[in-house]
Amino acid sequence: MATINFGGVLENVVTREEFTLEKAQNVLKRETVAVIGYGVQGPGQALNLKDNGVNVIVGQRKGTNSWKKALADGWEEGKTLFEVEAACEKATVVMNLLSDAGQIQAWEGIKKHLSKGKALYFSHGFGITFHEKTGIVPPIDVDVVLVAPKGSGTSLRSLFLQGQGLNSSYAVFQDATGRAEERALALGIAIGSGYLFETTFQKEVYSDLTGERGVLMGAVAGIFEAQFNVLRQRGHSPSEAFNETVEELTQSLMPLVAQNGMDWMFANCSTTAQRGALDWKDKFRAATEPVLNELYDSVVSGREAENVIKANSKDDYREKLEEELAVMKNSELWQTGLEVRKLRPKK
């Protein structure tokens, strides 16, 4: 492991230098890895593993859109593409990449194929951490590990094709073989992780649920809506309000922040922007920190998990979800965004 100073805190991480792809391939050379689920994370992880020389098969319900996508991506029915239970039976490593709701529904079928010495892999700590609600309790004689890329499966794949990678967390919940950590690290490198940092299943799901509801999606979406609404209420046109709220941030500033950091952005903007941002930054932090603490408490208590499971168990969930998403899609904010994106210069 490499010891890195993260803002004054020393932390051990695993990089590609000390755990090379060649080492990962050697660890996995006798494994048959079954990627179960071909939705959000499945395609990126499966294709990266395949391209890195790992023996991979895919398990997915036949006839679904995900099954069709797997076929389109080159997986062959009966050779590298199977129904879920058939893939689990063939595998020595079962990568459970179904949605959290899908994992609950498929668990009994997956569990019966987890024979002694196999490894059960997750990219989210939800099912294990909230086992009292999900019913997901692995057999005691299998390894249970986690590798969670810090981004979408689409990003994992696109960055891999560019020779880059997403950072990932990893964890070992159960080490039945004495090889659980080695297996986790090998899989983490083979799916294309940039570097790997250690966590636990519990910490992964607590941070992930907080992040999704907070800065990564929920908070950003809410702040976008709030600023857009204020500008519109104060007489600004939809185009001006959208450009000042979303377009400048996503197209100009955030790529620079990603490359250089927010401190660099503050140091390299106009003095007017600097002064205003410094004056107002702490006010926004003070306003949002209590909300984020409320959110974290809701995650730890299990309320967020319960809400997810309850919502997904309803027969009309998909229909209700589409209605909620349609409200956002058809709002003035995102309809304006649709037109603004059309006006971006073509390469």
Catalytic residue among 113, 124, 131, 236: 124
Nearest to 285 by CA among 229, 224, 215, 225: 215
DSSP labels, 240-256: HHHIIIIIHIIIIIHHH
The CA distance from 110 to 331, in Å, is: 42
- Classify the C-alpha dihedral 152-154-156-162 as positive or negative: negative
State the pairing for strand pair 93-96/81-82. Answer: unpaired
Beta strands across the sheet bearing 33-36: 2-6, 9-15, 193-198, 166-174, 143-149, 119-122, 93-96, 33-36, 56-59, 81-82
DSSP labels, 142-202: SEEEEEEESS-HHHHHHHHHTT--EEEEEEEEE-SSS-HHHHHHHHHHHTTEEEEEE--HH
- Is 131 in the active site? no
DSSP labels, 59-91: E--TTSHHHHHHHHTT--BTTTEE-HHHHHHH-
The CA distance from 180 to 121, in Å, is: 10
Give catalytic residue positions.
Answer: 124
